[in-house]
Chains A and B, each alone.
Chain A
Amino acid sequence: MILQKKDILGIKDLPVEEIAIILDTAESFVEVSSREIKKVPTLRGKTIINLFYEASTRTRTSFEIAGKRLSADTINISASTSSVVKGETLIDTAKNLEAMNPDVIVIRHSASGAPHMLARMVRQSVINAGDGSNEHPTQALLDLMTIRAKKGTITGLKVAIVGDIAHSRVARSNIYGLQKMGAQVTVAGPATMMPRDIEGMGVEVRTSLEEAVSGVDVIMMLRIQLERQQQNFFPSLREYAQHYCLSRRHLDLAGPDVLVMHPGPINRGVEIAPEIADGPSSVILEQVTNGVAVRMALLYLLTGGKQ
């Protein structure tokens, strides 16, 4: 099986069948990462450029490890060291990179839609590693993979996504992905962090964490950017934590064997109580592990997997 699309720009445009192919392929790559020699020759001779216009440690590292474990040559470019600081536009950067004939360009950018623009400009495959508040498709895929591995299926599950929904690309990609795979999604957070008309995306909306997590199978907590307080999205970190920090009593309201997830990095004691983040319900580190496998799968499917 192969992917029909040249690029992975978002979950919104990804058919269910292709999501399933990616997840199945990722599962087959989990084993590679557990070997003593964590390297296969699959993408030998291929070149992958990680073009990061926005600071990132885990996503960039995850892509880099994924590429290297498949024996691809991976090159990291970050905005602070690139010609962006010299005034080069994204289009010029794209054309120059294209001229160097890489096989895949992975891009993270603070502007929603930037990967779409890049994908139109270059003939290589483009993977969106997070664009503004739009999508973070590889995060959603690794989340789906983690849920499927733990629960056996995604269909019929109830999932709560909690926090700053308005600014979260993780929330958007997961809403699309979870719904496509048959889950019911509730979003929760302060009303100031709910984007306009979010109900139109087919989700339930709650401002109470207690209501949101009652009876659910999965709780996805989102990262709160602390500077949002200066923008009056909430009055104080203290008040936010009092109402939206996931604690033991919330897990008691949720369904049995509830999974607790977080895309990281965590603000301990703000989004999740430390004992929950490290507790038996938490799959946060498994998400990170699966992230490498999902990215390996995408690199494979977009390059070697086609041949």
Chain B
Amino acid sequence: MTLLLKNGRLVDPSQDIDGPLDILIRNGKVARIARNIPSPAGKNRKADSGATVLDMKGLVVVPGLIDMHVHLREPGFEYKETIATGCEAAVAGGFTAVACMANTDPVNDNRSVTEFILRKAAACGKARVYPVASITRNLEGKILSEFWDLKEAGAAAFSDDGRPVTNGTVMRRALEYAHSLDMPVLSHSEDPTLSAGGVMNESLVSTELGLRGIPAAAEETMIARDILLAEYTRASVHICHVTTAGSVRLIREAKARGVTVTAETAPHYFTLTDEALKDYDTNLKVNPPLRSTADMEAVREALRDGTIDAVASDHAPHALTDKAVEFDLAAFGMVGLETSLGLTLKLVHKGILSLPELVVRMSVRPAQILRVPGGTLKPGSDADITVLDLNRFWTVDSGSFRSRSRNTPFQDMPMKGRAVMTIVGGQVVYRELENAP
């Protein structure tokens, strides 16, 4: 199949491109980028018979967005999400690929689960799915999973996300072993002895609400450890869901020292603060928790200056039964695949990020960190493409989510800008454009 996207603004930071360029897609790959590529009705008519030409006037064409941190819940928690519904949500949110965490049931700590996830994703045929295998067997923090076998089965990274690896030696071995396989380790950095029993950020707000707090230090002490271990082993470490000013400072200083540390944050951490919890809305209960205004500002600044490499949604679907309970009893997490881009575009509208910088945070860097294809529209690369309408006004309506779960605190929030078409491997897997194939 051949697809020609004409008259769009093409933004591809991997090639330092931001301008009016056409893009020709053939056999699932980017075939050519140039001004005014002749339509298949022209001289290449015969060769391109059956091709589709789409007018991208007023739209922005970018390398497919990659969400490097989602929970697809299958196997084990299909009532919250399945790989199929998660992939539907991903492409509707503009993502051509997602990395799904290992805290399923059974845990993705062996080849059979990794292969199951890949098989399900292939059957769905929407977003690419990169299974993240667990660092330790059954997420118990004791014995390393079989990294080599898992890599061969198709795992893209290792993480015990949802739980920290508390044993320093286990984390050290994980970093060393994964490094030898050129595989990333994604760290859920949390000292559980400091966060134990906590349900929100420890602050004046938690004091006023009488809710048990999780101190910033619970995150920061573990990030400090992970940075020191990465420095000592000369391996690399990726810090998941960074939320505090102190964490940002640690990462910034480490990067300046030359430590190979990368980091991500999630849209809710640069959009909301713990002040939002005053009505005990369980949709705002996330781990790590929503932090203070100063923390939120630090996270925004870190995204701007690149200290935080990536935006990942930490899409954590939960059924109503997990959330419509007392705050202390509610599950941690919110869905994010279908609001992530809209919330990050708010940073663009506010002038905190440029559009190319957004593409770096949501596509280029995630691909680099995960060592997966994507993040570029260089000719010859997979045609994973997201088309954005930056001027489309819309309102968050959880009732229309493709995700199986609805746990969002952003219901009814007005947004400006969204993905109107998502292309994976040259196939249009999501579209809001008329006449799109």
Contact = CB atoms under 8 A, between A and B. Distances in A.
Nearest to B324: A91
B209 A201 contact: no
Interface string A189-226: 00000011110110000000000000000000000000
Interface stretch (A39-47, A57-65, A128-136, A153-161): A128-136
B152 interface: no
Contacts of A269: none
Contacts, number: 67
Interface string B206-245: 1111111101000000000000000000000000000000
A111 B204 contact: no
Interface residues of A, number: 26
B327 interface: yes
Contacts of B208: 12, 172, 201
B166 interface: no
A196 B207 contact: yes
A112 B210 CA distance: 6
B210 A135 contact: yes
B282 to A, nearest CB: 9
Interface in B171-213: 202-204, 206-213
Given A112-B280, A117-B280, A197-B204, A90 B325 contact: yes
A113 B327 contact: yes
Given A116-B279, A116-B280, A196-B202, A111 B328 contact: yes
A201 B207 CA distance: 9
Contacts of B206: 195-196
Contacts of A90: 325-326
A117 B326 contact: yes
Contacts of B215: 196
Contacts of A135: 210
B216 to A, nearest CB: 10
Nearest to B325: A89
Q: How large is the interface on B (under 10, 10 to 19, 20 to 34, 35 or more residues)?
A: 20 to 34
A114 interface: yes
A112 B202 contact: no
Given A89-B324, A91-B324, A111-B326, A132 B210 contact: yes
B329 interface: yes
B210 A134 contact: yes
A186 to B, nearest CB: 16
A109 interface: yes
A50 B213 CA distance: 29
B326 A113 contact: yes
A132 B210 CA distance: 7
Interface in B313-330: 321, 324-329
A111 B207 contact: no
A169 interface: yes
Given A196-B202, A196-B207, A197-B203, A111 B327 contact: yes
A114 B202 CA distance: 20
B156 to A, nearest CB: 38
A195 B209 CA distance: 11
A112 B325 contact: no
A177 to B, nearest CB: 14
Contacts of B212: 133
A270 B328 CA distance: 30
A172 B325 contact: no
A84 to B, nearest CB: 11
Interface of A: 12, 89-91, 109-114, 116-117, 131-135, 166, 169, 172, 195-198, 200-201
Given A112-B211, A132-B211, A200-B204, 10 more contacts: A12-B208, A109-B326, A111-B329, A113-B211, A113-B327, A131-B210, A132-B210, A134-B209, A166-B207, A195-B206
29 contacts: A12-B208, A89-B321, A90-B325, A90-B326, A91-B325, A109-B326, A111-B326, A111-B328, A111-B329, A112-B211, A112-B328, A113-B326, A113-B327, A114-B327, A116-B280, A117-B327, A131-B210, A134-B210, A135-B210, A172-B210, A195-B206, A196-B204, A196-B213, A196-B215, A197-B203, A197-B204, A198-B207, A201-B207, A201-B208
Interface of B: 202-204, 206-213, 215, 279-280, 321, 324-329
Which 3 residue pairs are nearest across A and B when measured between Cβ atoms? A134-B210, A113-B280, A133-B210
